[in-house]
Structure 1
Amino acid sequence: MKETVEIYGLDCKNKKFIEHEYVIYETEDKDKINPGRLFVSQDGIKLQFNSDQILYKLENVKRCFFKDENVIVIEYYDPINDNFSTNYLNTDVPEKICYNVLCIFSYIAAA
């Protein structure tokens, strides 16, 4: 575990992993790429594109994993529509994002 933390530059002891911000890209169609930000915190995973924001509360996140080289997948429960949805996002650091989400889940579970 310690080696993994050092590899990804996260410092669990000093709680620097609690909140992080990452650059992401949402591909709505093949020709259009919409840059945005992904924030990971104890509140959940927040996506921000231009002036639009979406917050996935941690209790609604089913899975967070990376697929292919630069794609992160977030599966979440949508309580308003009462169904599960999937969001595919492009990023240069999918491993760091997934590990950051795992740290948050572990931190909350241990509290």
Structure 2
Amino acid sequence: MARTPLHEPITAFLRQEVNRSNPGDLLPTIAELTAMFNVGGVQTIRNAYAPLIDEGLVERLDAPRRWAVVDRGQGPAPEEDFQARLNEVEEMLSRAAEIVRSLRRAC
């Protein structure tokens, strides 16, 4: 049976914190998280933050060594972006269907 990596529950906790936080809010330090989750490794905490950094939800601050929530308000809202892409796909499918119909008529 596969063991869950130590950082995964911490990542899940941090993801909830990000969703509850405002842009620029500081997230827990390494010391705070090691105490909360009873883990001893700095790397475990860094591994927990890594997916959130990769997803653009969190940024690492150099001084002090902290992590902060990124401003998610940049660019279109996810629903708007999704709707625009959905409209593009529907338009392409409509054009593709028209091409298929014209090819069938030609055969």
Task: Please report the TM-score for the alignment, with normalisation by the length of structure 2.
Answer: 0.24
Bigger relative CO (Cα 8 Å, ≥ 6 apart): 2
Which entry has the higher C-alpha Rg, 1 or 2?
2
Task: Please report the TM-score for the alignment, with normalisation by the length of structure 1.
Answer: 0.24
| Structure with greater proportional helix content | 2
